[in-house]
Amino acid sequence: MSGLILNIPNLISFARLLCVPLTVWLILNGQLLAAFWIFVLASLSDAADGFIARRFNLRTAIGGYIDPLADKALLVSVFITLGHEGFISSWLVILVVFRDAMIVGGAVLYHLLYDNLTMEPLVSSKLNTAVQFLMVSLVLGLSGYGINDDMVVAVLTVLTTLTTIWSGTAYVVVWGRKAHALEPGE
């Protein structure tokens, strides 16, 4: 891992984090098309920072935390805002936020108890994040362009629900097994 903290991938992640309040503000002010394009750029930046970090060996410890933080801040904030504005069902917003809160709370608890937390996203989590980015992008894009396609939103709601439950459950199982293995007398 590179020791440089303010490298290009980390700056891209910071920029994505700065997109959060702008995207929320645009949604709240009915500027859905602008919010869509900012969100799409932020989503693409997630792929770009990871590619650059791996390709040019610019991975850093802080980048390992900032990148998923920027993803979660963007997704959770936009999910909550779209739910508040009636574009996404409130039960789905609650499920998405609960999963993320459970993962963050579990990570903090695991770190406090065992002091050896490493940030390794699961395949189910990567898929869930991709589905959530897709859902938000399509909801914003369809709404921004004035297209009403309830079938697309319904399918994405089901996919988001399934991947959110799968990913949350996978984290509980993986961390539970790790914690069980670290317990004294095991």
How many domains is the chain built from?
A: 1
Gap between the Cα atoms of 69 and 171, Å rounded: 17
Q: Show the tokens assigned to 57.
A: 């060996």
Domain contains 154: yes
Q: What confidence score (pLDDT) does residue 120 get?
A: 76
- Mean pLDDT of successive 10-residue segments in the chain (186 residues)? 74 96 98 98 93 92 88 96 98 97 86 74 92 97 96 97 97 83 70
Taking the C-alpha atoms of 67, 69, 74 and 78 in order, what is their torsion angle to the nearest 10 degrees? 150
We report the CATH number of the domain holding residue 78 as 1.20.120.1760
Give the residue numbers spanning the domain of 67.
8-182
